[in-house]
Chain A
């Protein structure tokens, strides 16, 4: 049982480039989330989804987009990377009150 799988684990982007962070879960959870973690700041919610076809903004959505075409997948898109998007990104899914987190993607924008 893989749980929540994020790819890639590490990535370096140049300013202005675009990329998609992949997230997949095999637990059939309806709720999925994207967070970013910055040192000393905890985790901030970027976007979330309550089911296939339904997404909504979190606390810090600017510069990001998401889609949810299937229950399993919840990719996060960065269109024009900026240095402020250097962070560790975590995907999570939840059933009831417990959230399960992926291992994270460490992104550096230079």
Chain B
């Protein structure tokens, strides 16, 4: 069975600081991995995804994530936080291109001025 663990339900950073949101997964097959962002009272928006190929993937709004198979991790980073990055972030895994998404519990990011 597949599962996703997001470490830290709430992360707070200062504006301009590094953002690091952690995600570990378990999967019996090569996984497809995703990060979604949810702004207050909104639906989920895809930030980035890893399917195959290059293990460092770049997404929207300056975010990137690195797939590390040996560590079963897919951590999300951004070099410099902006106030507009405050939102909830969800890591998700699926089996293949049309598999159902399994979500982590989410990490709420706060950005202090």
Binds B, one of A11-19, A39-47, A66-74: A39-47
Q: Of B34, B98, B106, which contacts A40 at CB under 8 A?
A: B106
Report A-chain residues with C-beta under 8 Å of the C-beta of B101.
33, 43, 45, 99
Whole-angstrom distance between the alpha carbons of A35 and B98 in the complex? 16
B70 within 8 A of A: no
Binds A, one of B11-19, B40-48, B61-69: B40-48
Question: Is there an interface contact between B106 and A31, defined as CB atoms closer than 8 Å?
Answer: no
Question: Is there an interface contact between A102 and B105, defined as CB atoms closer than 8 Å?
Answer: no
Q: Of B41, B51, B103, which contacts A42 at CB under 8 A?
A: B103
User: Across the A-B interface, how many residue pairs have beta carbons closer than 8 Å?
Assistant: 55
Report B-chain residues with C-beta under 8 Å of the C-beta of A97.
32, 34, 49, 51, 94, 97-98
Report B-chain residues with C-beta under 8 Å of the C-beta of A96.
97-98
Report B-chain residues with C-beta under 8 Å of the C-beta of A58.
100
Q: Of B42, B46, B100, which contacts A48 at CB under 8 A?
A: B100
Question: Is there an interface contact between B42 and A103, defined as CB atoms closer than 8 Å?
Answer: yes
Residue of A nearest to B97 (CB): A97
Min CB distance B78 to A, Å, is 21
Min CB distance A32 to B, Å, is 11
Report B-chain residues with C-beta under 8 Å of the C-beta of A103.
41-43
Report B-chain residues with C-beta under 8 Å of the C-beta of A94.
98
How many A residues, CB 8 Å from partner?
Answer: 24
Min CB distance B109 to A, Å, is 15
B25 within 8 A of A: no
Of the A-B pairs whose beta carbons lie under 8 Å apart in the complex, a sample of 30, sorted by A's number, is A4-B43, A31-B98, A33-B100, A33-B101, A35-B103, A40-B105, A42-B90, A42-B104, A42-B105, A43-B90, A43-B101, A45-B100, A45-B101, A48-B100, A50-B98, A58-B100, A90-B43, A90-B44, A97-B32, A97-B49, A97-B51, A97-B98, A98-B49, A99-B46, A99-B101, A101-B36, A101-B44, A101-B45, A103-B43, A104-B43
Q: Which 8 A-B pairs have the closest CB atoms?
A: A101-B43, A42-B103, A42-B105, A101-B44, A43-B103, A97-B97, A103-B43, A42-B106
